């Protein structure tokens, strides 16, 4: 009977904690670069957050000439239109909010612009979808997005705090925020559209990236109780090395699933899939190289001899 190939090296003794300044330094550098990018270049906000309309079209032939399309569209007189390629022969056209006196007028003006554009392109292109978001709704969606991210991070913080000590919770959340930030920085560099589905991906990422971190923390806590005499650095190193196979393999498996989404998904799901893919990568990195050093710096308690083991919800406490 095939027993499977245990290809992941065991018993590794990588000195991760010793090099913590390097690893955490790298992640901090990436986070700061992301912050600078977000402040200067900003994000390619989708219509969900900026308002206006998005029209997706597909060329009737196998290829699309985005440059000439942009030229044709800009001549129509609706302001500067953003045109991005989507897939092999598609394009996403973004039309800014056409100005008008009031909400009703804005809706009508936008409608007129959309209709004109569709008309102008009908000969050579097929229409795929239209998304129009008014100013009122886009500001609501922005607020909802921000609340959701804050609520999720807060909820996760509370849960990890409930299961572990506060140092663990803070370290986990700092690693998590760093992951989300760097992923956003990536979106700034690549200028992928940042819409609601990307925010959903970031939220999912928040929940998922904690998984790996919790696996490591679980082991650390177990070891803290078992090896009371071991120096902290050695213990942390051992914990990370022990759980290495688990953190990497779970990320590989989920990564495979998300890769399928990224490769085969339509333009609608593209931003989401990329955010998840990159986020899994960065999340694994932070779980292995960043979360534990943070624990060290936050001063995790060394003496656990008087602490009864905290059981997982649903399990009875073990003696």
Partner 1 sequence: MMYFSRGKTLTILAICLAGLLACIPNFLSNETFKSLPSWAQHRIGLGLDLRGGAHLLMAMDSDQLKKDWLTTLRDDARKNLREAKIGFNGIAATGSNVQIRLTKPEDAEKATAALKKLSNSITSARFAGAADLNIAQGPEAGLITMEPTSAGIQDRVTNAAAASIETVRRRIDALGTTEPNIVRQGSDRILIQVPGVEDTAALKRLIGETAKLAFYEVHPSVTAEEARSGRVPSGYKLFKADPKDVESAGREYVLRENPVVDGGDLADAHASFEQRTNEPIISFRFNQSGARKFGNFTKDNVGRPFAIVLDDKVLSAPVIREAILGGSGQISGSYTPESANQLAIQLRSGALPAKLTVVEERTVGANLGQDSIDAGKRAAIVGMIAVVAFMVFAYGLLGIFASIGAALHVVLVFAIMSVLGSTMTLPGIAGIVLTIGMSVDANVLIYERIREELRAGKQPIAAIEAGFDRAYGTIIDSQLTTFIAGLVMFLLGSGPIRGFAVTLTLGIITTVFTAFTVTRLLVAWWLAAQKTRKIDAPLAYKMVRT
- Binders in 126-155 for partner 1, by CB under 8 A: 126-134, 136-137, 144, 147-148, 151-152, 155
Q: Which is nearer to partner 1, 168 or 187 (CB)?
A: 168
Q: Per CB under 8 A, which of residues 183..202 are in contact with partner 1?
A: 196-197, 199-200
Q: Tell whether residue 76 is a contact of partner 1 (CB under 8 A).
A: no
Identify the CA nearest to 227 among candidates 302, 118, 314: 302
Binding-site size, partner 1 (CB under 8 A): 79
Task: Give the nearest distance from C-beta 167 to partner 1 in angstroms.
Answer: 16
Question: Taking CB under 8 A as the rule, which mask of x and - marks residues 293-312 in contact with partner 1?
Answer: ------------------xx
Among 6, 101, 303, 319, binds partner 1 (CB under 8 A): 6
Q: Which is nearer to partner 1, 37 or 262 (CB)?
A: 262
CB contact at 8 A, 184 and 41: no
Q: Per CB under 8 A, which of residues 209..248 are in contact with partner 1?
A: 210-212, 214-215, 218, 242, 245-246
Q: Tell whether residue 258 is a contact of partner 1 (CB under 8 A).
A: yes
Q: Tell whether residue 169 is a contact of partner 1 (CB under 8 A).
A: no
Dihedral (CA of 73, 199, 34, 189) sign: negative
Task: Give the nearest distance from C-beta 139 to partner 1 in angstroms.
Answer: 11
Q: Tell whether residue 99 is a contact of partner 1 (CB under 8 A).
A: no
Q: Tell whether residue 256 is a contact of partner 1 (CB under 8 A).
A: yes
Q: CA dist 163 to 160, 178, 251, 267, Å?
A: 5, 22, 23, 40
Task: Give the nearest distance from C-beta 182 to partner 1 in angstroms.
Answer: 18
Task: Give the nearest distance from C-beta 195 to partner 1 in angstroms.
Answer: 10
Among 67, 99, 313, 319, binds partner 1 (CB under 8 A): 313
Q: Which structure tokens are listed for 270?
A: 């593209």
168 vs 38: CA distance, rounded Å: 28
Q: Tell whether residue 65 is a contact of partner 1 (CB under 8 A).
A: no
Q: CA dist 28 to 122, 123, 181, 251, 289, Å?
A: 49, 51, 10, 22, 12
Q: Per CB under 8 A, which of residues 13..52 are in contact with partner 1?
A: none
Entry field: residues in the chain: 319
């Amino acid at each position: 009977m095939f027993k499977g190939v245990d290809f992941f090296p065991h018993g590794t003794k990588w000195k991760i904690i010793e090099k913590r300044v390097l690893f955490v330094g790298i992640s901090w550098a990436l986070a700061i670069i992301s912050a600078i990018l977000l402040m200067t270049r900003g994000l390619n906000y989708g219509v969900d957050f900026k308002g206006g309309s998005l029209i997706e079209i597909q060329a009737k032939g196998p290829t699309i000439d985005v440059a000439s399309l942009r030229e044709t569209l800009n001549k129509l007189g609706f302001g500067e239109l953003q045109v991005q390629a989507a897939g092999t022969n598609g394009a996403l056209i973004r039309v800014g909010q056409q100005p008008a006196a009031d909400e009703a007028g804005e809706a009508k003006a936008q409608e007129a612009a959309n209709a004109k554009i569709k008309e102008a392109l009908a000969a050579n292109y097929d229409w795929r979808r239209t998304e129009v978001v008014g100013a009122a709704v886009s500001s609501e969606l922005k607020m909802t997005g921000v609340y959701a991210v804050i609520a999720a991070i807060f909820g996760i913080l509370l849960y990890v705090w409930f299961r572990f000590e506060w140092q663990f919770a803070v370290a986990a959340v700092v690693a998590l925020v760093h992951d989300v930030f760097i992923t956003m920085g990536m979106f700034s560099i690549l200028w992928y559209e940042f819409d609601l589905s990307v925010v959903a991906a970031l939220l999912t990422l928040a929940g998922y990236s904690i998984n790996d971190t919790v696996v490591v923390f679980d082991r650390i806590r177990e070891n803290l109780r078992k090896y009371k005499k071991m120096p902290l650095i050695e213990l942390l190193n051992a914990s990370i090395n022990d759980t290495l196979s688990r953190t990497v393999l779970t990320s590989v498996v989920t990564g495979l699933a998300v890769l399928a989404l990224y490769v085969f998904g339509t333009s609608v799901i593209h931003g989401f899939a990329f955010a998840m893919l990159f986020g899994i990568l960065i999340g694994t990195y932070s779980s292995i190289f960043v979360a534990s050093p943070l624990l060290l710096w936050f001063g995790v308690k060394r003496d656990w001899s008087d602490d009864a083991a905290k059981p997982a919800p649903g399990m009875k406490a073990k003696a």
